[in-house]
Structure 1
Amino acid sequence: MIWHLIAALFAGLGAAGIGLILRLASGKRLPRWIIPACGGLGMLAYQIHNEYSWFEQKKTQLPASAEVVAMEKGQMFWRPWTFAFPMTTAFTIVDRDSMAVSREEQDRLIEFILYRFEKEYVDQVSHQAYLMNCATREMLPLEGESRTPATEQMRRVDAASPLYEAVCENA
């Protein structure tokens, strides 16, 4: 977080320097307020770039076996540009290397972990183990260290969903 603050400060100083050069190049015909205005716009531009590149930056930090299965885009009133261009605020991945495949009669059961990344003041990462029956497309969470199935939370997954494709078709 401190590095983003320092980077924003230097982006503002650089943009203010550009404003100063423009003022001097115009023979001081541009108003003096152009310098701090350019500085503020430079810091704002850095912040917008940082927010919109968060998802791609996080994706490059993931292992090659990780596959993004869901993304959430959001809008915030204190970031009015997100109403025109919503930014990615959270995404979910499944790590293919952590999958455990087992067979029970005719059904193929796959145990996997879903990781959820959320963009907040400090990035949040949460994970949950799941068990999916690929034949019936039923998925249920596994709770605790013993990985006890929570059958009351069972849900069906659509066959065309990226989660089903990542878990059952690529496993």
Structure 2
Amino acid sequence: MFLELVATFIAGIAGAGLMLLLSRVTGNRLPRWLVPVAAGGAMLTATIASEYGWYGRTAEAMPDGFEVVQTVENKALYRPWTYVAPYTERFVALDTTSVQTNAALPEQRLANVYFYGRWAPLNRLIVLGDCAQNRRAAITDTIDFSTTGAIEGAEWVTVPADDPLLTALCET
């Protein structure tokens, strides 16, 4: 976040400097108010570029085996350009290398799921998916595994058949 703030200030200085240079080249015929307008425009452009580039940079930097399964786009009144093109504010990634199965319960899968968010810390959750019954549960401290491998104490959530997380979990 600090580096993005520094980049925004540098963009503002560069925008003002370019407008000052353009003003000098034209013999100071341009109005002086264009210098702060150019600085503000450059800062706004740098901020927008950073917002729209965050998802691509972050998804590209994920380790091998991570698969983006769901994205959440954002629109905001104070960012009117987001109504034309919403930006991705957060997303969910499945660690396909962490998927575990139990021979006694082949329809169930256990895996690490990561929640990425702009300006938010990375969160990890262990998720159990039941492919046969279209449901999933978060693995918490209150869950126990029986001797057969069955889950006891899970709070199952029934999801639609096209749930992106369960679909990706069941395909691996």
TM-score class, shorter: 0.7 to 0.9
TM-score, length basis structure 1 = 0.86
Q: Is the 8 A contact 2:15 2:39 kept in 1?
A: yes
Q: Work out the CA distance in 1 between the residues paired with 2:5 and 2:127.
A: 38
- Structure-1 residue corresponding to 2:75: 75
Q: 1:101 to 1:34 in 2, by over 3 A?
A: same
**CA distance in 1 between partners of 2:136 and 2:163 (Å):** 13
What does 1:64-103 align with in structure 2 at a 5 Å threshold?
64-103=64-103
Distance 1:67 1:165 in 2: 12
Is the Cα contact below 8 Å between 1:141 and 1:150 reproduced in 2? Answer: no
For 2:165, the equivalent position in structure 1 comes to: 163
Q: Residue 138 of structure 1 is aligned with which of 135, 141, 147? A: 135
Aligned to 1:154: 156
Q: Give the conservation status (yes or no) of the 8 Å contact 2:136–2:166.
A: no
Gaps of 5+ in 2: 145-151
Aligned partner of 1:54 in structure 2 is: 54
CA deviation after TM superposition for structure 1 residue 10, in Å: 1.1
Verify: 1:117 aligned to 2:116, yes or no. Answer: yes
Distance, in Å, in 2 between the alignment partners of 1:50 and 1:31 is 30
RMSD over equivalenced CA pairs, Å: 1.9
Counterpart for residue 11 of structure 2? 11
State the percentage of identical aligned residues: 28
Contact 1:143 1:150 in 2 (8 A): no
Pick which of 22-31 and 89-98 moved more.
22-31
Question: In the alignment, what sits opposite 1:27?
Answer: 27
Report the number of matched residues.
165
Equivalent residue letter for 1:62: M
Deviates more, 1:19-28 or 1:39-48: 19-28
> CA offset at residue 129 of structure 1?
1.2
- Kept after mapping to 2: 8 A contact 1:93/1:115: yes
Structure 1: runs of 5 or more not aligned: none
